[in-house]
Structure 1
Amino acid sequence: MINVKSLSTKVTQATNGLMFPATIWFASRTLILVAMLLVAPLLPAPRNGIAATFGLGVFSGWDSIHYYNIATSGYEYINGKGNVVFFPLYSLTARALMSIGLPFEVAGILISNLAFLLFLYVLYLWLYQYQGERVARWTVALAALFPLSIFTATIYTEALYLLLSTAALRAFDQNKYTQTAIFGALATATRPTGLALIPGFLLAAWKQNKLPKAYIAGLLTSIGVVSFSIYCAVQHGDALAFIHAQKAWRPNPGFDWQTWWKMLMQITVGIRNYKHGGIKDITHPLIFLIIVGCGYLLWRHRNKLSAAKVDYGFGVLFLALWLLAGDPVINTSVFIVSTFLLWHYRNELTPVTLFYGLLGMAMLLLSGGTISLSRLVYGIVPTIIAYGIFLARHPRWGYMSISFFTILLFIFSIRFAQDLWVG
């Protein structure tokens, strides 16, 4: 006999669960819209920025112009330089929507925001199956409210790539290899970091002793980038044009220790002192040493304090460090913390998630610079998952993180609207 009450409870729980991604998506979009369309236009033009105006133009900035040019005029590649560094799928999708009468800005905004909603659902359902509801909820909240999620609401490829790469990873874990190949191929046609999916699938197939079709699916993932390479060969006479053109953005491929050293110096001694090549203002390094000293004392005497006091203490110290040094703290900590958490939770992640995450982080480390580092790390979904597991295990840090990230997302949204650098 069917237990009607039990069945009703399960249906209610399932419905509530499926409402969570939509609710958190709506909350994050509302926050971004308020910041960009209501608050930013009221503020004066900042130094090195512009006065934001009410309109869809605030969602287009920096790299957005390249996607517009590709969608309307195609690719350019002259003397080893051009917009071929931007992979085609996002612009092709925008062009398809433009063909039915939508302006480019409307098409781009729709692609980003709808793809992000679908991404949150795919992420939630995937983690619900492998990690449970608690981890799924924390991870979805983190993904939606992380400050770099501003790029999932604007005319950028982040949302589309997150959707396609996550769908491919989930399909692989579910042994749905046709879907793996399709979503994976689309992902490698969206962003260069999609290349990390290919060895990630092959290594996971080997690790889990999967059937030969798992290897085939992993190899077929390369169809996206191979197709783009063929286009570059035919159109521009250089099959690797999208790699060669990267030199305009990152002139020295490999580990660029100088840019990492620059970020470290900006954090420890300050931008002003770094520019002058010496200590001209003692204030910044002095405050930095005080923060480090407080952190040491807090760690040394942690057993004498409650866990809450220790956690909140480190939270306050990190906030102080961010107020002192700004963006370099975010860029550096996002990369270091993400890499640490990927390894720390390696036994709780599925093999394909772990391999793709580590390979993606290795690509960023060897990319030749740290430009947009935190944004690129955010685009690698295993880093979000690893952080989500941590927040689920340590909810006090979860509430502190989400609160801080929400404030930062609001600030980043205003900065993007003012054409100031974000990420």
Structure 2
Amino acid sequence: MININTYLTKINYQFNYQKLWFPALMWLISRFIIFFVMFVVMPIASQTSHITINQYGWWDVLFAWDSAWYYQIATTGYNYGLDFTKTQYSVAFFPLYPLLIWILTQIKIPVVIAGLLINNLAFFAALIVLYSWLEERYEQNTARWATATMAWCPYSIYGTVMYTEGLFLLFSISALRAFDKKKYVWAGFWGVLSSATRITGITLLPAFFLTAWKQKRPITAYIASLSVAGGVLIYSLYCWIKFGDALAFLNAQKAWRTSTGFAWQGWWHMLMQVVIGGKNAAVADIKDPWYLLQFAIIIITSCLLLRFRRKIGDTKVRYSFFLLWLVLWLMAGESLIKIVLIFGGLYLLWYYRPSIPLVSAIYGFCSYGIALNTGLTASVERYVYAIAPLFIVSGLLFSKYPRWGYAVMAFGGLILALFCVRFAQNFWLA
């Protein structure tokens, strides 16, 4: 006779294993690509070029741009001054990530290793939470595609280097999942951690509040929504006590950007780079007619493929479109990727809004509102990558059209490897 405890333990083990192995596989393979490029390819390249590797240590290739700010905060604390419109101050960066780094340094873990451990483990945990949530709400196929999209998106590099993406994704996905499952204490807890990690975490507040109002949820849902502001309020109190300016973290942003709002000119110029070519867009004149001819050929070919798709066959049409995409990418470069990721993601979020949790849809649109109104086009793609509902709609899309999903994952892996080369060389990425 089978012991009931042994049987239940076996079921629980199989349940946990199923929710763990696929996210682990996606994390391991995608991170292997990153580490292989950065720690094998780049050192070899540095011996035959001007590239400098290991200037500070083995972790040098994973440390650039904002990483230096987090290092400074974790080691020497925050700084701020009255000339915040001209001088960049570290107070612009939210405190939870550098605080966790500082805590690990107290047990003799080096600063950068602590930062890398936190971000990588948090990103891994975020993949697990996302997969578990979507498998419960939809089905396994959707959960797998959503997890794969999150792992293989080129900007997932920021879940491995010394940045906050992994930590923020873990907290925001956990908060959305908890609220969706009506676990309001946990929703408030994860929401506080989100807003203490990045200012965009505050968008969980309207998402929780409006969902609670729309779905007539209990008073505890409203309390959870208001508690999200806790992370920002605690940091604001710290800024007031230390610097005498409760809004120091907002004022310090003025040194990074001189304006706010939607950057119409920047996005229009980027679109023109795709449509008429970089050389032509730079001078607002036709200096490179060959680009226009090539772009016209791509558009005409695409129209013909759609017109005769039944005669050609779906398989050949798909391969042809993928080939045309590669050609256009080689012509237009990163501008094409940014426009498709940002505005294509916004379209998918709108299209699938009835199919995803209401709290996720509201959070996604509110987060887009912040990302697209910074007054800049720089870094917007990285902010958009951290909007978790985009992975949900991607899972729904690719579970319906898996062949397109495989093509997107392959292309994403290629761009991820190229992004690793650029980041390792200290070139601006996002």
State the TM bucket, normalised to the shorter chain. Answer: over 0.9
> Counterpart in 2 of 1:421?
428
- Residue 158 of structure 1 contacts residue 379 of structure 1 at CA under 8 Å; is this kept in 2? yes
1:17 Cα deviation from its structure 2 partner: 3.9
1:406 Cα deviation from its structure 2 partner: 1.0
Distance in 1, Cα, partners of 2:419 & 2:12 = 39
1:11 Cα deviation from its structure 2 partner: 6.0
1:2 Cα deviation from its structure 2 partner: 8.0
Determine which of 96, 102, 117 is the counterpart of 2:124.
117
- Residue 167 of structure 1 contacts residue 183 of structure 1 at CA under 8 Å; is this kept in 2? yes
- Residue 89 of structure 1 contacts residue 189 of structure 1 at CA under 8 Å; is this kept in 2? yes
> Counterpart in 2 of 1:32?
34
Q: CA 1:73–1:162 in 2, change beyond 3 Å: closer, same or farther?
A: same
1:330-376 alpha-carbon deviations (Å, 9 max, x no partner): 11110111111111111210011111011111211222111112211
User: Partner letter of residue 53 of structure 2?
Assistant: A
User: Partner letter of residue 71 of structure 1?
Assistant: A
- Residue 204 of structure 2 contacts residue 228 of structure 2 at CA under 8 Å; is this kept in 1? yes
Partner SS for 2:285: coil
Determine which of 64, 68, 79 is the counterpart of 2:67.
64
> Counterpart in 2 of 1:75?
78
User: Partner letter of residue 51 of structure 1?
Assistant: T
User: Partner letter of residue 139 of structure 2?
Assistant: G
Show structure 2 runs of 5+ residues with no match: none
User: Partner letter of residue 88 of structure 1?
Assistant: P
1:384-412 alpha-carbon deviations (Å, 9 max, x no partner): 21112111111011110111111111111
- Residue 77 of structure 1 contacts residue 83 of structure 1 at CA under 8 Å; is this kept in 2? yes
Partner SS for 2:287: coil
User: Partner letter of residue 377 of structure 2?
Assistant: T
Distance in 2, Cα, partners of 1:364 & 1:244 = 18
> Counterpart in 1 of 2:172?
165
1:3 Cα deviation from its structure 2 partner: 12
1:223 Cα deviation from its structure 2 partner: 0.2
User: Partner letter of residue 92 of structure 1?
Assistant: L
TM-score, normalised by the number of residues in structure 1: 0.94
User: Partner letter of residue 69 of structure 1?
Assistant: Q
1:291 paired with 2:292, answer: no
1:185 Cα deviation from its structure 2 partner: 0.5
User: Partner letter of residue 28 of structure 2?
Assistant: F
- Residue 46 of structure 1 contacts residue 418 of structure 1 at CA under 8 Å; is this kept in 2? no
Distance in 2, Cα, partners of 1:394 & 1:361 = 25
1:309 Cα deviation from its structure 2 partner: 2.6
1:164-215 alpha-carbon deviations (Å, 9 max, x no partner): 0001111101111111111100100111211211101111111211101101
1:233 paired with 2:235, answer: no
1:77-105 alpha-carbon deviations (Å, 9 max, x no partner): 22124122211111111111111111111
> Counterpart in 1 of 2:249?
242
Q: CA 1:236–1:394 in 2, change beyond 3 Å: closer, same or farther?
A: same
> Counterpart in 2 of 1:19?
21
TM-score, normalised by the number of residues in structure 2: 0.92
* Match runs of 1:300-339 below 5 Å: 300-339=307-346
Distance in 2, Cα, partners of 1:239 & 1:289 = 54
Deviates more, 1:405-414 or 1:151-160: 405-414
Superposition RMSD in Å: 2.2
Deviates more, 1:68-77 or 1:214-223: 68-77
Determine which of 211, 228, 231 is the counterpart of 1:221.
228
User: Partner letter of residue 147 of structure 2?
Assistant: V
- Residue 94 of structure 2 contacts residue 199 of structure 2 at CA under 8 Å; is this kept in 1? yes
- Residue 255 of structure 1 contacts residue 369 of structure 1 at CA under 8 Å; is this kept in 2? yes
Number of equivalenced pairs: 421
Deviates more, 1:51-60 or 1:69-78: 51-60
Q: CA 1:403–1:3 in 2, change beyond 3 Å: closer, same or farther?
A: farther
* Match runs of 1:179-190 below 5 Å: 179-190=186-197
Determine which of 77, 86, 97 is the counterpart of 1:90.
97
Determine which of 43, 46, 50 is the counterpart of 2:45.
43
1:10 Cα deviation from its structure 2 partner: 8.9
Distance in 1, Cα, partners of 2:125 & 2:239 = 31
1:18 Cα deviation from its structure 2 partner: 2.2
User: Partner letter of residue 127 of structure 1?
Assistant: L
